[in-house]
Chain A
């Protein structure tokens, strides 16, 4: 089964990464990831273009993207606010952790600079967990909660790190495009929203 391969590969990747800690090859790793993503997007695009009635699907896609975006933005920020209330955090700090939308490499350093290393570390781990949980749970959540909810769960990562699992899961190809645009818009929004929330 595909998901078992995914789990094995993800865990072995994390283990290998934490054991050898390849700081010197990180730039090369980033390059490899970006290159692979380009290939992934090319072939995913090929599938989308080949799908029948794609022009009709595109019109519908734009309204679906905006609806999922609304859920992700409000859901993440409200959810983080509630979480902050439970553990007794400053509400603005909490909401800025949620406004990372799963983009840990942005949220962590940004909050470390704006607030303090402790909040930065939580922003980092909370968002990394969001990414890992999406990779592992997307196929199931898509069935249980629906495609809107599953894409919304992925946040900004639906344009890159969780896009692979989305591509392998969805049967209606237009949702690949929807997930990508959803992630791309959040990737633009997160670096604007986090400083904005903290400046309130």
Chain B
């Protein structure tokens, strides 16, 4: 995990240093390339995992578990996000009105 953090920090640091410079290279194109490569490798890894082939009878249970976990996470997050922006807007408005 440490190399990941260091890469991220190095990137942020370099980006911050060069923040006033014009675009040197197209980060978006590089990112797209790496993203596609990574998703391909992730696919190979998922496909080559032996466990997933030998279990035809657990798909139903797995789908139920997966969908409910995702659904409840989304539900709570939506509720919290709504609450968060509302609170923030109220805060900003009361700040502005004091000027």
Closest to A21 in B: B48
A5 and B36 contact, CB distance less than 8 A: yes
The SS class assigned to the B binding surface is: helix
B66 and A126 contact, CB distance less than 8 A: yes
B58 and A11 contact, CB distance less than 8 A: no
For residue A94, which residues in chain B have a CB less than 8 angstroms away from its CB? 65
A71 and B80 contact, CB distance less than 8 A: yes
Q: Does B90 contact A (CB under 8 A)?
A: no
Q: Does A91 contact B (CB under 8 A)?
A: no
- Most-contacted residue by chain B among A83, A160, A161, A168 (CB, 10 A): A83
A13 and B77 contact, CB distance less than 8 A: no
A13 and B40 contact, CB distance less than 8 A: yes
A165 and B35 contact, CB distance less than 8 A: yes
What per-residue 1/0 map shows which CB atoms of A72-86 lie under 8 Å from chain B? 101110111011101
Choose from B42, B66, B67, B81 the contact partner of A148 (Cβ within 8 Å): B81
Q: Does A103 contact B (CB under 8 A)?
A: no
Choose from A18, A79, A160 the contact partner of B70 (Cβ within 8 Å): A79
Known A80-B65, A130-B69; contact A45-B12, beta-carbon cutoff 8 A: yes
Choose from B15, B17, B59 the contact partner of A125 (Cβ within 8 Å): B59
Choose from A23, A32, A98, A164 the contact partner of B48 (Cβ within 8 Å): A23
- A181 → chain B closest CB, angstroms: 10
Closest to B67 in A: A83
Instruction: List CB contacts (< 8 Å) of A13-33 with chain B.
Output: 13-23, 26, 29-30, 32-33
Known pairs A87-B64, A97-B69, A145-B77 / 4 extra A-B pairs, C-beta < 8 Å: A122-B61, A133-B66, A152-B74, A153-B74
Interface residues in chain A, defined as those with a beta carbon under 8 Å from any beta carbon in chain B: 2, 5-6, 9-23, 26, 29-30, 32-34, 36-52, 54, 64, 67-68, 70-72, 74-76, 78-80, 82-84, 86-87, 89, 94, 97-98, 105, 108, 118, 121-122, 124-135, 141, 145-153, 155, 159-161, 164-165, 167-168, 177, 180, 184, 187
